[in-house]
Amino acid sequence: MTTLTDAAAAPAAVTDAARPPRRRRHRLAATVSRYRWMFLLLLPGIVYFALFRFWPMYGAQIAFRNYIPFLGIEGSEWVGMQHFEDFFTNPDFPRLLANTLILAALSLFIAFPLTIVLALVLNELRLQILKRTVQTLVYIPHFLSWTVVVSLTGLLFAVGSGPLWTLLNGVLGSDANFLTDPTWFRPLILLQDVWKNTGWGTIIFLAALAGVDQEQYEAAIIDGAGRWDRVWHITLPSIRPTIIIMLILQTGQILNTGFEQIYLMSNALNRTVADVFDTYVYFVGIQQGAYSYSTAVGLAKAIVGLILIFGTNWLAKRFNQQGIF
Amino acid sequence: MKTRRLAPLAMLAAGSLALAACGGGNGDGDGGAGGEGEALDSLTIMAPYFAAVPPESDDPVGTALSELAGVPIDVRWVPNSDYGERTNVVLAGDDIPDVMVISGKDQSFVSTAEAGGFWDLTDHLASGEYPNLVAENPEVQEAASVNGRVYGVYRARDVIRTCVILRADWLENLGLDLPETTDDLREIARAFTEDDPDGNGKNDTYGLIAPQWPGGIGTASPYDAIEVWHGAGNVWRDEGGELVPAFTTDEWRQALEYERDLVQSGYINPDFATMDPATWNEPFLNGEGGIIIDVQSRAAQLAELFREQDPENYDQYVALAGQLEGPNGTYALPTAGYAGFLAIPRSNVQTEEQLHQVLAILDKLNSTEAQILMNNGIEGDNFTVEDGFAVYDESKQDFTDQVTGAWAQLGMNVAGYEGYSPKPQTEYDEQLAQLRLDLQAEDLENAVFNPAASLVSETYMSTGTQLDNIIGDARIQYIAGQIDEAGVDAAIQRWRDTGGDQVTAEINELYAQLD
């Protein structure tokens, strides 16, 4: 949730900067003294961000150096954009980009809307006990680690013995090995993603749904609106700001396909579609100790993410929607 | 919403380095060097451990070793799983130990060594001044070097480990002999699949068991073994003074054909590309598959597992064969012969005199006395000696585990292992241990060493994992029938284009300088 806190802190800074400079200092001092206890409460947060988010950025400069731990960050040779060039001209780059974007698109266009759909369905349940039970049940997969999810998948799709392997091949009349067949890699990843994260993702939408004015529904019912009309004309417009914000945050994460899941699901036979930026950084950086190069890749990814956030935000504002800043 | 747990890995790495730099200052003084040029009054060593908990500072083995060495030895134990990462963090900090176990020639070690971070021990070790540090196998010391320069005292390991493990009872049921050639192995794999070796009337067995192999080529996988047996060479092959990658040879293709035939005929487990290596023993124990190509110690492990299942007849299940004769001759796959080395950073050990002192201590740590301490423990306490074997006291098992799981990691044994072997519990164990030794001696004569083991190519350092994966993946794709020969050619071309040609050029340049 750090992204949310981050976003919430930003507007204050923006409005402050917009004020005329001379009055600002005076007013700032007054504000600080007036709300000193509030600022004290804020302090741990500031320390956290300074220590764990901003201070490490000092180390990001190794992306522009040939970092050798023994020589230290500043002692290592400065090579400028060399690592970025190597990365973008790498013959593997187009494949990595395509794989990453396809997985991201699946997540954005299928998994993300499913979260909203599930939240709406849950919201329509009138029996409270049923609603709460279902809610709890759909949260559970979120707490399983990827290792467990992948092991389960391995058992369910095991060649010759997995129940889903038997079922799917029976239905499709095929003899596929889903775990190694490259064409099945993306559907499996999406399936795991949906199974594990959809339920948990509904929380924020359910919270937004709880805030919708009930009187509107009552009025709509009197006007003769059916269930679909109410969802379409009241519920969805009411949670639109939440959807937009979540969408903006999602697009910022587009290049982060998640390392563990992909790494655990990939094998020699599906690697052509399974190689993404995150696994690439692992192989190059962690396994080979090419810290500078992998930091460059990580930094490039982060910059793309930042541009996407601002871009989506700008688009949202263009269409008269509320952005996050 | 999807909560993305992983911040970009590189940022994490950068973050932890920065934090480590913060924490570096509170070291408890530099254990070793008193000051410029003075003799060391203690020796700090950084080493990995596998045991549940590392030894305490007042551990009896540590005390005894300190007495032998003449100065207090202070070991900084790091869990083996974190070791590589910690090595880099320590090198980046300012509290560097006097001696470090380095787990392999990775980029950060090589670049540090070449930047002058470690003492070059080549001449010191060759001087003969330290008799216990003179390598029993000079080719292993060579292999552990960086382009011929020795930066550490290697930790010796068995040179021959690869073998073929078979279900002895199945061979017996079908009236088959142990395999001697690769053709025999194929025939056994066929019979294990088709001739109902367990005699239950069902078609429920297969031949070879192969797991998903982490890593690309040259990692002692079953495939690597088969390729060496076919004469493809070990990673690199010398052809008229020039090194060529093993996978560009005709013999490699021949081996690939052999592997593909095993897969396509169904003589191997269908999930060979995805099976978890941690479950490798299970099909063998459960009677699903009957052949494993792996290290010899797995045979002892399997025999032990059968003992739990069937204490009466446990000696009837595991058969062992060494290298197989291939269509082009007899070749055996050796290991690298070492598992990392003890290197001496220059930060604390600054003068030749101090280096001399450290080497003298390492020499003492390689004496018979020290080897027994590090590999067996305290004689009369946790073990006693019977007929030249160690017999462990079961009530002191925790201590013994700590010795073998931690202190043994400091052992170099370059001049030969002189600790005691555990006493075999039964006659069968003794036979198995003897058979392993016999096979080792036999295979060593035909061992095909990697001629480029000592050569460190700059391009390979930065892109080697991907390059190896290209070929490793293509191999699996080919034998699984996913790609054809043209696909293998395309993968090799991709290898060449993404840095392989450069690696070959660099390796050959270094190879020419070596002689």
User: pLDDT tens-digit profile of A171-230?
Assistant: 988 888 899 999 999 999 999 999 999 999 999 999 999 888 889 989 999 998 888 899
Q: Report residue B15's pLDDT band, with 50, 70 and 90 as the boundaries.
A: very low
Kindly state whether B202 is in contact with chain A, defined as any CB-CB distance less than 8 angstroms.
no
Greatest mean pLDDT among A92-96, A297-301, B374-378: B374-378
Q: How close does chain B come to A226, measured CA to CA in Å? A: 29
With CA atoms as reference, the chain A residue closest to B3 would be A1
A-interface mutation test, from B2, B102, B495, most A Cβ less than 10 A away: B2
CA angle B225, B219, B107 (to 5 degrees): 155
Average pLDDT, chain A: 86
User: Which residues on chain A are in Cβ contact (under 8 Å) with B463?
Assistant: 284, 288
State the DSSP code for A111: I
What mean pLDDT comes out for the span B429-455? 93
Distance CA B283, CA B167 (A): 11
Nearest CA in chain A to B5: A258
Which residue is listed with tokens 């293998």? B488
Which chain B residue lies closest to A51 (C-alpha atoms)? B19
Residue A302, number of CB atoms within 10 A of its CB? 19
pLDDT score of B95: 87
Exposed (0-12), middle (13-18) or buried (19+): which is B86, by Cβ within 10 Å?
middle
Q: Would an 8 Å CB–CB cutoff place A113 in contact with chain B?
A: no
Task: Give the pLDDT of residue B151.
Answer: 95
- Asked if the model's pLDDT at residue B356 lies above 50, the reply is yes
Complex-level ipTM: 0.77
What pLDDT score does A24 carry? 66
- Per-residue pLDDT of A288-297, as tens digits, reads 778 888 899 9
Residues 418-447 of B with CB under 8 A from A: none
CB < 8 Å from A in window 93-122 of B: 106-108, 111-112, 115, 117
Order of strands, edge to edge, in the sheet holding B318-321? Answer: B206-209, B289-295, B162-167, B318-321
Inter-chain CB proximity A271 and B89 less than 8 Å: no
d(CA A242, CA A244): 5
Would you list the domain boundaries of chain A? 2-78, 85-318
Distance from CA of B134 to the nearest CA of A (A): 29
Q: Say which CATH superfamily domain A85-318 falls into.
A: MetI-like (1.10.3720.10)
B contacts of A108 (beta carbons < 8 Å): none
Instruction: Compute the average pLDDT of residues A22-27.
Output: 70
Digit-coded pLDDT (tens) for B383-422: 999 988 999 998 999 999 999 999 999 999 999 899 999 8
pLDDT at A3 over 50: no
Output the six-digit token pair for B86. Answer: 């910690």
Q: pLDDT tier at B37 (50, 70, 90 boundaries)?
A: low
The reported pLDDT for the residue numbered B30 is 42
**Rounded Cα gap, residues B502 and B499, in angstroms:** 5
Q: What is the dihedral of CA A47, A48, A51, A52, to 10 degrees?
A: -170
Confidence (pTM): 0.83
- Percentage of chain A modeled with pLDDT above 90: 44
Instruction: Indicate yes or no: CB of B18 within 8 angstroms of CB of A60.
Output: no
Q: What is the pLDDT of residue B36?
A: 56
> Residue B493 phi/psi, 5° resolution?
-65, -40
B217 vs B223: CA distance, rounded Å: 9
For chain B, the first-to-last Cα distance in angstroms comes to: 61
> Does any CB of chain A come closer than 8 Å to the CB of residue B473?
yes
Q: Is the pLDDT of residue B225 over 60?
A: yes
Q: What is the rounded (10 degree) CA torsion for B499, B504, B506, B511?
A: 160
Higher pLDDT, B426 or B331: B331
- Would you place residue A14 in the very low, low, confident or very high pLDDT band (cuts 50, 70, 90)? very low
Is residue A22 very low, low, confident or very high in pLDDT (cuts 50, 70, 90)?
low
> Bridge partners of A106?
none
Q: In the predicted model, what is the mean pLDDT of residues B113-134?
A: 92
Measure CB to CB from residue B2 to each of A71, A197, A301 and give the nearest one. Answer: A197
- List CB contacts of B65: < 8 A, sequence separation 6 or more: B73, B365, B370, B373, B374, B407
Q: Which domains does chain B have, with CATH numbers?
A: 31-157+337-417 (3.40.190.10), 162-333+447-514 (3.40.190.10)
What dihedral do alpha carbons B16, B17, B18, B19 form, nearest 10°? 50
Is B45 within 8 Å of B410 (Cβ atoms)?
A: yes
- Both structure tokens of A158: 């095991």
Low-confidence winner among B27-36, B75-84, B471-480, B501-510 (lowest mean pLDDT): B27-36
Q: What are phi and psi of B294, to 5 degrees?
A: -160, -165
Partners of residue B469 in chain A, C-beta under 8 Å: 271, 283
Chain B interface test: which of A53, A58, A68 (most B C-beta within 10 Å): A68
pLDDT above 60 (res B449): yes
Pairing of strands B383-386, B389-392: antiparallel
- Measured between beta carbons, the chain B residues lying within 8 angstroms of A52 are 15
Residue A83 contacts by C-beta under 8 Å, 6 or more apart in sequence?
A63, A64, A292, A293, A295, A296, A297
Burial B134-145 (b: 16+ CB within 10 A, else e): bbebeebbbbbb
Using the Cβ of A269 and the Cβ atoms of chain B, whether some distance falls under 8 Å is answered with yes
- For residue A322, pLDDT beyond 60: yes
Give me the mean pLDDT over the B6-25 stretch: 40
Which of A52, A197, A269 lies nearest to residue B480, judging by beta carbons?
A269
Question: pLDDT value at position A74?
Answer: 86
Which pLDDT score, from 0 to 100, does residue A12 have?
45
d(CA A247, CA A257): 16
Structural contact between residues B290 and B282, judged by C-beta atoms closer than 8 angstroms: no
Q: Is the Cβ–Cβ distance between A156 and A162 less than 8 Å?
A: yes
Residue A75: pLDDT band (50, 70, 90) is confident
Mean pLDDT (chain B, rounded): 89
pLDDT digits (tens, 9 = 90+) for B245-262: 999 999 999 999 999 999
Q: Who has greater pLDDT, A20 or B316? A: B316
Quote the CA–CA distance of B194 and B203 in Å, as a whole number.
7
Residue A125 has pLDDT above 80, yes or no: yes
Q: Which CB contacts under 8 angstroms, 24+ apart, belong to B281-284?
A: B281/B305, B283/B209, B284/B165, B284/B167, B284/B209
Residue A27 is predicted with a pLDDT of: 84
Q: Chain A to chain B, count of Cβ pairs less than 8 Å apart?
A: 170
Are the beta carbons of A285 and B10 separated by less than 8 Å?
yes
Mutate to test the interface with B, among A70, A142, A205, A306 (most CBs of B within 10 A): A70
Determine, for residues B1 and A250 on separate chains, whether the beta-carbon distance falls below 8 Å: yes
**Number of C-beta neighbours around residue A93 at 10 A:** 15
Cβ of A284 under 8 Å from any chain B Cβ?
yes
pLDDT at residue A21, as a whole number: 56
Q: What contacts B164, CB < 8 A, 6 or more positions away? A: B179, B185, B291, B292, B293, B320, B321, B322, B324
